[in-house]
Amino acid sequence: MLLRCICQAWVSRRNSMRKGVYISDFQELELPEDGDIAAAAVAAAVLPGGRRLVQDDVLGLPAQRLVQARTQQMDGQEMLYLEFPSETVTRSGYNIRRKNFAAAAVKHGKLYTITASARSDQFNEEKKQLLQHIIGSFRLR
């Protein structure tokens, strides 16, 4: 299984037909004015760069009803865990669907998120467990 990690904030990459798991590390965001941390975390995962993309792909946010969210206390920190689908229509017209898992937490007035995803056509129970494990390991110190 290919595992790719990008460790820079707000990374924008072309959505190629890469196999395996794709993990993005969005280091920090300003807290949203409306206080909707879940929406901000989903937007950071699906629309990296705050919609200032340099590519021709069409990225869209999932409907709010498709975003599953739960909170949990981890090491004294309230964590928000998310699961949601996303779609990308490439400039050549391919519709690529992904299953996304994210964790988010607020510390010192900043929102920190991590996202892990896999293409839906390559998604299985093993990848789901791996992605959930990756997201579950996210901690703020």
- HSE at residue 59, side-chain half, CA atoms within 13 A, is 23
Lowest mean pLDDT, pick from 32-41, 82-91, 117-126: 32-41
- Yes or no: say if 131 and 21 are a contact pair by the CB < 8 Å rule: yes
- Per residue in 71-110, pLDDT (tens digit) is 999 888 899 999 999 988 877 888 889 999 999 988 888 8
Domains along the sequence of the chain with CATH: 3-136 (3.40.1000)
pLDDT band with cut points at 50, 70 and 90 for residue 1: very low
Of all residues in the chain, what percent carry a pLDDT higher than 90? Answer: 28
pLDDT band with cut points at 50, 70 and 90 for residue 66: very high
Of 6-20, 44-58, 123-137, where does the model show the most confidence?
123-137
Strand partners, 97: 87
Cα 83 to Cα 70: distance, rounded to the nearest angstrom: 9
- Yes or no: say if 115 and 102 are a contact pair by the CB < 8 Å rule: yes
pLDDT band with cut points at 50, 70 and 90 for residue 48: low
